[in-house]
Amino acid sequence: MSNLETSANVIWHNASVTRKRREEQNSHKGTILWFTGLSGSGKSSLAHAVEEQLHQRGCRTFVLDGDNVRHGLCSDLGFSVEDRVENIRRISEVAKLFLEAGVIVLTAFISPFRAERDTARKVVPHGDFLEIFCDSSIEVCEARDVKGLYKRARAGEIPEFTGISSPYEAPTSPELKVATGEDAIEHCVDQVLQLLAERGVLKSNA
């Protein structure tokens, strides 16, 4: 059966427990924090540090981490351009489900291509996708590279490696740009929390 035939036989079910009701129970709005940047730019570290602060405030959160997702949901994908596009498509759909649950979902993926990040943004209602650019020079990223990935990429052992043999298209107008290559992580966390407050995701007493 083709995908078209499958889609024609699938009908969306509207639940009685709505996103609004879930958000009211959570005492905060759901949103997607989409952390993007080079490998080693601090995406995962920042996402988890932000989640820790939100959790301490009683918020419902979940981090979708690039490596973790590739152990399960995207374990069948490689790192070709086509597979990377599919990887981000799947993640954006999963993030949308978390959003409907009223959760603050934090995604930490290189997501190197603007077109795919724009597609992920369009999957959800306007204002629910907050792109956070973790800005760090490739020199800093390489110096932080405890896995030795950059060294292997420069030796030609890893094809299609972002920043070396595959491009990274930096965001042109992200909701937030954090200097993760220079600033302390505590400062970066504060910037993200301020963004959430400004966007009304968190209540003033959160």
The catalytic residue positions are: 111
DSSP collapsed to 3 states, 50-112: HHHHHHHCCCCEEEEEHHHHCCCCCCCCCCCHHHHHHHHHHHHHHHHHHHHCCCEEEEECCCC
Query: What does DSSP assign to residue 40?
Result: T
For the chain, the 3-state helix, strand and coil shares in percent, each to the nearest 5, are 40, 15, 45
Query: What does DSSP assign to residue 15?
Result: P
Long-range contacts of 195-199 (CB under 8 A, 24+ apart): 195/130, 195/132, 196/31, 196/33, 196/104, 196/130, 199/31, 199/127, 199/130, 199/175
Cα–Cα distance between 199 and 78 in angstroms, integer?
36
> Both tokens of residue 32?
């997607």
CA distances in angstroms from 76 to 22, 69, 93, listed in the order given: 33, 11, 17
